[in-house]
A and B are shown apart, each in its own frame.
Chain A
Amino acid sequence: MELNYEFMVRTFGLLLQAIPVTLKLTAVTLLLATPFAFLLALARIYAVPYAAKFASAYISVMRGIPMVLQILLVYSLLPSLLNYLFKQAGIAYNIFDLDTIWYAYIIFTFSEIAVLSEVFRSALGSVGDGQIEAGLSVGMNRRTIYWRILIPQALVTALPSLCNVTVTLIKNTSLAFMMAVQDITATGKIAASYGYNYVEAYLDVFLVYIIVCSLVQIAFRISEKHLGRFRHTSQISG
């Protein structure tokens, strides 16, 4: 197939410059979603009245609605709603000046809360109850037990799933082009339509995503090895 290689090389360079945007979208979303996801997970583990019900309803709704639809829904509603509210409240700020990446953060965070809470729930459940009892027996309070005993161990168990979640999120952020965020896909799309070099541009985008996802997976594998050291030592001594 006849491909414009010179264009491909040039676009590849442009796409590399867009990697930080994709990574920023991913990282900020994960950071924003984590505390809420943790609370939802706790609500379900301890079967907190109402909160547990809300958590499972929230998770199944988020699991059932396609990401594109969530984006279309929020992106068609939120800016004008905020504009209306700001006008009512007499705030002079023009909401349409706001960087659209904020809408992307909000939408991805809402769906990631549901995904992460399931990961946290199963990871926290994987640490034996005996550990909590042991902690209580030496006089720790629950918060210390969580911070010092439970979470560090659960985090290591959760790392493979977190890797999966992160890779899926990186792929999902490719939809941010719908909100005019200049990530990898959006940059490729613009380059493609410039000279109708669609195939070349999307091949580049395809390659860049493989590189990014590979690097993320390698990073997770290294941290798993590093943080999971205690497992091996305990196996040897035990």
Chain B
Amino acid sequence: MRPFEPQLIPQYFAEVFPYLSVTLGVTVSVIFFGSLLGGLIAWGKISGGRVIRSLATGYTYILRCTPSIVLLFLVFYGLPKFFLEAFDYDINGLSRAVFVIISFTLLYAASSSEVMRAAYLSVNHGQYEAAVSIGLSPVTALRRIVLPQAAVVALPNFGNSVLNLMKEGSLAYTIGLVDLLGEGNLIISRQYGGSALEVYIAVGLVYLGLALLITRSVLLLEQKLLPQKTRPERGRT
């Protein structure tokens, strides 16, 4: 058996670290597009008619049952075929990142719609009525009164979904995106399978650091926002 050489880990760490930008780029794009779509779905679940509501609920249900890898393959193979046959347009040359972003946006929208819905419903409806009764417009009431409170409630779940997204995003290497894990695998294959353990440990350390960073910042943000949330309760007692 080939000896384990931990002294090589820092070197591999330095080699894969620049590809953090790819992983982060994909993650941030998915959070952006996924939140837009997720917000739309959450809105459909909260205030849509019967058809829209069941569509939104059905979407979330189906996506919740779909393994990321299956959706990724489906989008990666299905979308070009669909475009070719429906519009006679070849999108096979598109960057792999586009397919990854589309698949994970679909998945992330489902989970973020649930986070948003729960957070929105956690804010007492009386708050909105009170705001409107003193003359705020419905949009201002939503923007200044309901959403800031909902955001605090959503924060821990938001952190969790982002963490999950970042981890699941590592599957992107299976369709050939060169992100953290993709580069790690390239390094290993350049050495004909050597140093696999050291490279994977280096990649794991980057992910671990990223995960700790996300968890920590969510906690910090929560603590920063929490006093505002508890103030009225303190006043009541």
Contact = CB atoms under 8 A, between A and B. Distances in A.
Asked if A pairs with B, the answer is: yes
Interface of A: 1-2, 60-61, 63-69, 72-73, 76-77, 80-81, 83-84, 167, 170-172, 174-175, 185, 188-189, 192, 198-199, 202-203, 205-206, 209-210, 212-214
A84 B70 contact: no
A165 B174 CA distance: 24
Given A65-B207, A66-B181, A167 B65 contact: yes
A151 to B, nearest CB: 27
30 contacts: A1-B81, A1-B82, A2-B85, A60-B211, A63-B211, A64-B163, A64-B167, A66-B170, A67-B167, A69-B170, A69-B181, A69-B200, A72-B200, A73-B197, A76-B197, A77-B196, A80-B2, A83-B1, A167-B64, A171-B66, A171-B67, A185-B69, A199-B78, A202-B78, A203-B78, A206-B71, A209-B65, A209-B70, A212-B65, A213-B65
B85 to A, nearest CB: 5
Contacts of B163: 63-64
Contacts of B64: 167, 213
B98 interface: no
Given A65-B204, A69-B203, 15 more contacts: A64-B167, A64-B207, A64-B208, A64-B210, A64-B211, A65-B167, A67-B167, A69-B170, A72-B185, A73-B201, A73-B204, A167-B64, A199-B74, A210-B66, A214-B65
B77 interface: yes
Contacts of A171: 65-68
B193 to A, nearest CB: 8
B51 interface: no
B170 A172 contact: no
A81 B196 CA distance: 13
B72 to A, nearest CB: 9
B121 to A, nearest CB: 17
Contacts of A73: 197, 200-201, 204
Contacts of A189: 73
B200 A198 contact: no
7 pairs of A and B residues whose beta carbons are closest in the complex: A64-B211, A213-B65, A198-B77, A174-B67, A66-B167, A66-B170, A84-B1
Report which residue of B62, B69, B163 has the largest number of chain A beta carbons within 10 angstroms of its beta carbon.
B69
Contacts of B81: 1, 199
Contacts of B225: none
Nearest to B211: A64
Report which residue of A2, A68, A172 has the largest number of chain B beta carbons within 10 angstroms of its beta carbon.
A68
B90 interface: no
B200 A174 contact: no
A203 B74 contact: yes
A172 B67 contact: yes
A192 B168 CA distance: 23
A69 B171 CA distance: 9
Contacts of B57: none
Contacts of A80: 1-2
Contacts of A188: 70
A212 B62 CA distance: 12
B136 to A, nearest CB: 37
B186 interface: no
Contacts of A63: 163, 211, 215
A91 to B, nearest CB: 15
B22 interface: no
B212 A60 contact: yes
A39 B210 CA distance: 28
